[in-house]
Structure formats: structure tokens, C-alpha cells
Structure 1
Amino acid sequence: MKTIASCVEEIIISSPFLEEGLSREIINYSALAKELNKPISDMLRKPVKDGAIMMALRRHHQPLNLDNSVRLKKAFENLGDITVRSNLSDFTFQNSKTLIHSHSRILEKISANHQIFYAFTRGMFESNIIISTSEKENILKAFKNETLIGSQEWLSAISIYLPKGNSKIAGLYYQIFKRLAWEKITLYEVVSTTNEFTIVVEDSLVDKAFSVIKSLKN
């Protein structure tokens, strides 16, 4: 049987921004109770009082997994180097039988230059390349027979070296995404390996995104 407390719990769990605001204690309980009155009344199919909702909000606490919380905290404290690379471009091509051959051409071209940023991701129907803008002409030449779906310049990448065992920690990526979303930072692309995590953002957002990532260590 649904109660006001269970309805409040359900709404908070499905609203990451609301959950974050409550955890930071920056949300007015009275105002939020008024806002939630209609949806909770609809869920219970009867009118409810703002005071009862406000009491449920004050009693709400996030379920604690102490072991995982400690592991999360330790992981963020042990984040490795944070590297920023600018002057990047993004290219998306439709998958084809010849795409891998075009890919091998560009790899051969840039293999000797370790200063070039390069990331390749293959999906079910399209493939994505993020590369230093200085190689734009080489990309267009190597992939001239492929179908270009879209491209974007003026991008920057922020790479974070993650501690070993990060793949066993629940919520690690969620915490990173949540912080970025809270600061209204739009991610253009995300690339990850076992111990390295890279976000790609537009140049105008890179300073703000870097500050958010750096603050995770604290």
C-alpha cells in the first residue's frame, strides 16, 4: 500500500537533481512540498496536506551502502592525472564494409606522431572518430569514399586516470555524470578504457568541466 513517504521516496529516486539538491540542503522543504502535492495526491488518489509531505521530505534519507560509499570516496581521492587536450574535431561515418580499410589508412598516417589525440568508436550502424583538428584534411582524404553523417570542430577532451578496480565500484561514473549535469555541462562524447575516462566537450565549456572534474578529488 502506497504512503506519502513511499511516494516521496519514489519521486526523489527518479529525480537525480532533486536528490542532489536535498543532499546539499539547498532546497526549501515547504516550497518543494507544495510542488509535490499534486503528483502525490494523484499517486494516492486522494488529497494530501503539504505538512505531511514536508515531514516525509525531512525524514527522507538516502539508503546507505557503507562499504560502497567508502570505496567511492577512496576512488575519487585516488584519481590520477587529469589531462586536457584542445583543438579537436569529431567525425561520424556510416558503417560500411570498407570503413575499416579507411580507418587503417589514417592509423598508418598518424602512428608515428604521438602528439596527436585519436579515439575511434564503432557502433552498430555508425562509427565515430575524435582527432586533433590538424588532421582534418587527412581524415577527409582517407574517408573520402565513406558516408559522413556529421562533424564538429572546436572541441576539447578531458581525460582522467582512474584507480585500479574502478569497474567494481557501483556509481562511480554516475557521480561524475551527476556533477557535470548539475553544472549544466553538456557532454559531446564519452570515451573510456579500463582505467581511463575521457569526456569531450565544446571549447566554451572546458574550463568549467575541468573545475568540476578536479573538485571530485575533494
Structure 2
Amino acid sequence: MKTIATCVEEILVSQPFLEDALTRNILNFSALSEELREPISKMLRKPVKAGAIMMALRRYSPPKEMANKVKLNKVLQNLGDITVRSDISDYTFKNSPSLIHSHLKMLEVIKEDPHIFYTFTRGVHESNVLITNTLKKHMEDSYKDEVCTTMQDHLSAITIGLPKENTKIAGLYYQFFKRLAWEGISLYEVVSTTNEFTILVEDEVVDTAFSAVKSLKN
């Protein structure tokens, strides 16, 4: 049977920003109670008082994973180097039998320079390639027989080194997405390996994005 408390919990869990603000004590409980009165009344199919909702909000205890942030904070404080690369191009191709051969052609071009930024990600129906603009001509030659559905220039890549224990920490990636969302930054692409996490953003917001990510280490 649903209660006001369970309705409050259901709403907060479905709205991470709201829950985070509540746990940080930066919400006006009275205003929020009034805001939640109508949806909770609909959920319970009867009118409820704002005072009862406020009491449930004050008694709300976040899940253990949210309350115990010691491990998460430790990982954030131990983030590795944050590297920014500009002048990146993003290509999306339809998957085809020949696509892997095009990829191999490009690998032959870049194999002598380990510092070149190049990623290849294969999905179910399409594949994505990120590469430094200086190799754009080589890129288009290597993939000339493929169907390119989208191409975007003027991107920057921010790569964050992650501690080895990152795979055991729940909510780590959420911290990055939440912080960038607070800043109103749209992510053009996301690429990750076991111990690295790379986000692609448009050039004009890279400084704000870098500052947002760096602030997580503090």
C-alpha cells in the first residue's frame, strides 16, 4: 500500500537532481512540499496536506549508495590526468562488410605516431570514428567506400584518467554527467575504456566543460 513517504521516495529517486539538492540541504522544504502536493495526491488518489509531505521529506533517507559517498569521493579525488585535445572530427558510418577493412587502412596511416587521437567504436547498426583534423584527408581516403551518415568538425576531446578501482564504484559516471548537465553542456560523444573516460564537446564550451570536470577532483 502506498503512503506519502513511499510516494516521496519514488519521486526523488526518479529525479536525481532533486534528490541531490535535498541531501545537500539546499531546497526550500515548504515550497517543495507545495510543488509535490498535486502529484502525490494523484498517486494516492486522495488529497494530501503539504505539512505531511514536508515531514516525509525531512525524514527521507537516501539509499545507502547515495548516503555513503566515502569511496566515491576518494575515487574523484584520485582522478588521473585530464587531457584536452582540440580540432577533432567525428564521423558516423553505416556498418558494412568492408568497414573493418577501411578501419585497417586508417590504422596503417597512424601506426607510426602513438600520439595521434583516433578512436573506432562499432555499434549494432553504425560505427563511429573520432580523429584529429590534420588527418582528415587520410580519413576520407580510407573510408571512401563507406556510407557516412554524419560528420562534425570543431570538436574537442576531454580525457579523464580513472583510478583502477573505478569499475567497483557505483555512480562514478553519473557524477560527470550531472556536473556537466548543471553547466548546461551538451555532450556530442562519449567514449570510454576501462581506465579512461573521454567526452566530446563543441569547441566553444570546452573551457567550461574542462573546469566542470576538474572541479570534481576538489
Tell whether the structures are fold-level matches, with TM greater than 0.5.
Answer: yes
Instruction: Name the counterpart of 2:61.
Output: 61
What are the Cα deviations for residues 95-154 of structure 1, in whole angstroms up to 9, with x where unaligned? 000001111111111221233211110001100001111111211111111000101111
Instruction: Name the counterpart of 1:138.
Output: 138
1:179 aligned counterpart, secondary structure: helix
Distance change (3 Å), C-alpha of 1:66 and 1:182 = closer
Alpha-carbon offset, residue 53 of structure 1: 1.2
Alpha-carbon offset, residue 201 of structure 1: 0.8
Alpha-carbon offset, residue 25 of structure 1: 2.7
Instruction: Name the counterpart of 2:96.
Output: 96
Identity of aligned residues (%): 63
Alpha-carbon offset, residue 68 of structure 1: 6.0
What are the Cα deviations for residues 79-99 of structure 1, in whole angstroms up to 9, with x where unaligned? 111100011010000000000
Instruction: Name the counterpart of 2:29.
Output: 29
Instruction: Name the counterpart of 2:192.
Output: 192
Counterparts of 1:183 and 1:60 in 2: how far apart (Å)? Answer: 27
Instruction: Name the counterpart of 1:8.
Output: 8
What are the Cα deviations for residues 61-88 of structure 1, in whole angstroms up to 9, with x where unaligned? 3123499632211111111111000110
What are the Cα deviations for residues 17-62 of structure 1, in whole angstroms up to 9, with x where unaligned? 2112223333222221121111100000000111211221122231
1:135-174 matched pairs, under 5 angstroms: 135-174=135-174
What are the Cα deviations for residues 4-29 of structure 1, in whole angstroms up to 9, with x where unaligned? 11101100000012112223333222
Greater alpha carbon shift after TM alignment, 48-57 vs 34-43: 48-57
* Residues 65, 170 of structure 2: 8 Å contact kept: no
Instruction: Name the counterpart of 1:210.
Output: 210
When the two chains are superposed, the root-mean-square deviation of aligned CA atoms in Å is 1.6
Counterparts of 1:59 and 1:143 in 2: how far apart (Å)? Answer: 59
1:165 aligned counterpart, secondary structure: helix
Greater alpha carbon shift after TM alignment, 178-187 vs 86-95: 178-187
Distance change (3 Å), C-alpha of 1:181 and 1:66 = closer
Counterparts of 2:68 and 2:23 in 1: how far apart (Å)? Answer: 17
* Residues 68, 170 of structure 1: 8 Å contact kept: no
Question: Unaligned stretches of 5+ in structure 1?
Answer: none
Instruction: Name the counterpart of 2:41.
Output: 41
Question: Unaligned stretches of 5+ in structure 2?
Answer: none
Counterparts of 1:61 and 1:67 in 2: how far apart (Å)? Answer: 8
1:170-185 matched pairs, under 5 angstroms: 170-185=170-185
2:9 aligned counterpart, secondary structure: helix
Counterparts of 1:157 and 1:136 in 2: how far apart (Å)? Answer: 16
Amino acid of the residue matched to residue 34 of structure 1?
E
